[in-house]
Structure 1
Amino acid sequence: MSSTLQIGLAVAGGVVLAAIVAHSAWSSRRNAPRRPDPEPADSVAPALAPALDGERREPGFDDALGALPMPLPADRRSGLDPLIDVIAPIAIDTPVSGDAALAATPSTRRVGSKPFALEGRNSTTQVWETPVAGQRYDALQAGVQLANRTGALNEIEFSEFVMKAQGFADAMNGAPEFPDMREEVARARELDQFASSHDAQLSFTLRAVNAAWSPGYLHQNAARLGFVAGLIPGRMVLPSATPGMPPILGLSFDAQAALAEDPDQSALRSVTLTLDVPQVERAEQPFVRMREAAAALAQAMDGVVTDDAARPLAREAMDVIGSELEQLYDTLDARDLSAGSALARRLFS
C-alpha cells in the first residue's frame, strides 16, 4: 500500500514539476523580445536584402567638420552665396593654377564653428568652384557662413576669417577686399534669428504595447518599408532617391542593444522616428511618409505612436502638424531658403 502511495506521489510530483517547467517556458517565450521571422531569399523585399547584408548603408554626409562633401546633385546655388555667407573678393593680376590654390588652402575648413570656403572662377567655364588641380582661375574669393545651428558668426570668428583669407591671398599675390565687420555680424544675427524661429526637427516615438522587440525584429520590419542601416549603431534611415542627398527619415533605438553580443536577447520597448524638416525637399512629402511609416510599423509590430511625453498621437494632431509644416515650407520658400536646397542644408546644419 505504501509502495503504491509513494508511486502515486512521485507521479503527481512529476506532473506538477512538468507543469511548472512548461509554464516557465511559456512565460519566458511570451516575455522574450520578438525576433525576426525567417524569410526565403526570393521573398525578401528589394530594400530588405541590402539592410541585412550590410552592403547598403546610410550615405556619408560630413559637413560638420568642414570635410569635403560627397558630390551633390546640381544646384544653381551650391557654392558661396551672399544670402548666407560673408564673401571677400580677392583681386589677382594673372590667372592662378588650381594646384597653387590647393597648396595654399588652409588645412582646416572652419572658422570657429562656421564653415570656411575658397572659390575660384574657372578661366574656361567661367563658373565659380572649389579649386581643382589642373584648372586655371582668373578670380578668387573667400567666404565664411553667417550662421548655422551653433549660432551666428561673431566678431572673433570674423577676425579669424580675415586672418585666414589674408594668408591665402598673400600666397596667391592677391589683394582681398573685406566687408564691414559690424554690418556682417549684424546680418549674421538677423539670419540666425530667422533660422532659429523657423527650424523644425520632428520626432514620433513608437512604443511596444505588449512584447518587446529585438533589434533584428525592428530591422526586418523597417527594412520592408525601405529603411537601411545607418552609419552608427542603433540608427536606420530612409534614404533619398537622389544620390548624395540627406536621408528623408531617421529611425533610432538603443545603441547598446544593437551592439549586444546576442542582439536577439536585447529588448527594445521604444524607437524614435525623426524628420529634419529643412534638410529634406518638400517634394519628397517627408511628413506624409513619416506618418505612413509610423502607422505601418505600429501595425506590424503591435506598437502605438506617441509624442515625447508618451501621449498617443491622434490623427487630428498629426493633421495640425502637417498644416503648420506647409506654412513653414511657404516661409522658407519666400526667403529663398527652400527646404532641401543647398542653402537650407548649409544653414540648418
Structure 2
Amino acid sequence: MSNLQIGLAIAGGVVLAAVVAHGAWNSRRNAPRQAKPEPTGTTPQTQLREPALDGDIERDTQPMSLPPVARRSAMDSLIDVIATIALDGPGMVVSGEAAIAAMPSTRRAGTKPFAIEGYNLVTLNWEVPAAGQRYGGFQAGVQLANRSGALNEIEYSEFVVKTQAFADAINATPEFPEMLEEVARARELDQFASAHDAQLGFTIRARDASWSPGYVQQNAAHLGFVAGVIPGRMVLPASTEGLAPVLVLSFDPQAALAEDPAQSAIRDIALHLDVAQVDRSEQPFVRMREVAAALAQTMDGVVTDDNGQLLNAQTMDVIGSELEILYDTLEQRDLAAGSLLARRLFA
C-alpha cells in the first residue's frame, strides 16, 4: 500500500470517527434529561404521596337558634339553604340507627351537596347521625352554589323531596324556606363567586433539551413537591395536613405512564394555583413565583403564560397586586381564601 493510500485511509478513519462522535454527542444533547442518583442514605422525596382530602369540607357555624351549649352546625346560612326538622310530639327521640336507615341514598341534590344533621342529646352537638346515639331534632341543608352554578328550582325541589322523605320515615315535620327567595339568593351568590374565582397557571418550557419524568419529579421534589394520586401530577402540601395543596405541578400523564419513562420527552410543565382554596397566610403566589423561577433556572427553561408569552417581573407584580385586592374582597364577604366556606363554595 502506498503512502498516499495509507494517508487516505487514516483520513477516512478520522472523518468516520468524527461523524460517529458527533452523532453520539447530538443524540445525548437531544435526549431527555435524566434524574441524577440521590446521595447514599437519603430517601427521594418523590416517594411521598399526595395526602387524601376530606370530601366534605365545612365550617363550624350556627345557622339557627340552638341551646347555648350546643356546638355550631357544619351548615352555614351564608351558602346553604337550611330546613328544620322537628320531631312530632314533645320528648320524642330518634335513635342513630333509625336516622341512618332513613337517610337518602345520595348526598346531593342535582350538582349541589346535601346533608342532614341530628342534635345529639348526650353530647349536645349537631352531627351527622351515628349508630348508638340519640337525637332530639334534625336539620337538612343544600348548598346554594358551587362551580357547577347556582341552585335552581329543580335542585331545590329535589332537596325538598329528599328532606320530606327523611322526615316521614322518622315521624317528623320539616319547615322549608321559601323557594323563590332561596333561588334568588343562590343566583346572587353564584354571580359573586364567578366574578371572584381566580385560578392562575404558569407554564415552564424547555429552552433546549427536553426533560424525562424522573428529571421533572426530582427537581420538583427538591422544592417540596410530593407525588400526586394522578400520574403526571405533583403537589406542594399546605402547612396544615389535610388541606388543599398550595400549588399543583402537572405534566403529560402519558409520559409518566410510558413503558420506559426515561425515554419520554417532556417539553413543558404547568404550575397551577387555585386561589380560593389556599389560605392567604401560605403566601401561595409568592411561592408560585419562586418555584417557577427555581425550576426554570435549574432545568434550563423559561416561564410563560398559557399562550406562550414570557412572564416578566413587572407582569408578576401586577398579578400579585390584583390578588391582594381579591383576598380583601373575599374576606369582606366572610369567604376568606382557604376558609372552609370558601373551599366549599369554590369547588
TM-score (norm: length of structure 1): 0.91
Counterpart of 2:53 (choices 61, 85, 92) is 61
CA deviations over 1:79-129 (Å, ceiling 9, x no partner): 111100111110014121222212221111111111111111121232211
Gap runs ≥5 in structure 1: 64-68
Counterpart of 1:82 (choices 72, 77, 81) is 77
CA deviations over 1:301-329 (Å, ceiling 9, x no partner): 11111111111111111111111111111
Does 2:106 match 1:95?
Answer: no
Correspondence for 2:67? none
CA distance in 1 between counterparts of 2:239 and 2:289 reads 19
Question: Aligned AA for 1:31?
Answer: N
SS at match of 2:44: helix
Question: Aligned AA for 2:34?
Answer: R
Return the offset for 1:130. Answer: 1.3
Return the offset for 1:172. Answer: 1.2
CA distance in 1 between counterparts of 2:275 and 2:133 reads 37
TM-score (norm: length of structure 2): 0.92
CA distance in 1 between counterparts of 2:302 and 2:156 reads 49
Please give the residue correspondences for 1:187-336 in structure 2 after superposition, counting only pairs within 5 Å.
Answer: 187-336=185-334
CA distance in 2 between counterparts of 1:275 and 1:302 reads 22
CA distance in 2 between counterparts of 1:347 and 1:168 reads 25
Question: Aligned AA for 1:89?
Answer: T
CA distance in 2 between counterparts of 1:39 and 1:229 reads 17
CA contact (8 A) 2:118 2:128 kept: yes
CA contact (8 A) 2:113 2:142 kept: yes
Correspondence for 2:148? 150
CA distance in 2 between counterparts of 1:125 and 1:338 reads 30
CA distance in 1 between counterparts of 2:44 and 2:105 reads 40
Return the offset for 1:5. Answer: 4.8
Please give the residue correspondences for 1:108-119 in structure 2 after superposition, counting only pairs within 5 Å.
Answer: 108-119=106-117
Correspondence for 2:20? 21
Correspondence for 1:181? 179
SS at match of 1:41: coil
Return the offset for 1:7. Answer: 4.4
CA contact (8 A) 2:239 2:282 kept: no
CA deviations over 1:274-321 (Å, ceiling 9, x no partner): 100000111111111111111111111111111111111111111111
SS at match of 1:273: strand
CA contact (8 A) 2:278 2:284 kept: yes
> Once structures 1 and 2 are overlaid, which stretch shifts more, 134-143 or 5-14?
5-14
Question: Aligned AA for 1:108?
Answer: T
CA contact (8 A) 2:59 2:75 kept: no
Return the offset for 1:174. Answer: 0.8
Residue 306 to residue 242, structure 1, CA distance change in 2 (3 Å): same
Return the offset for 1:231. Answer: 0.9
Gap runs ≥5 in structure 2: 62-72
CA RMSD of aligned residues (A): 1.7
Q: How many residues align?
A: 333
Question: Aligned AA for 1:22?
Answer: A
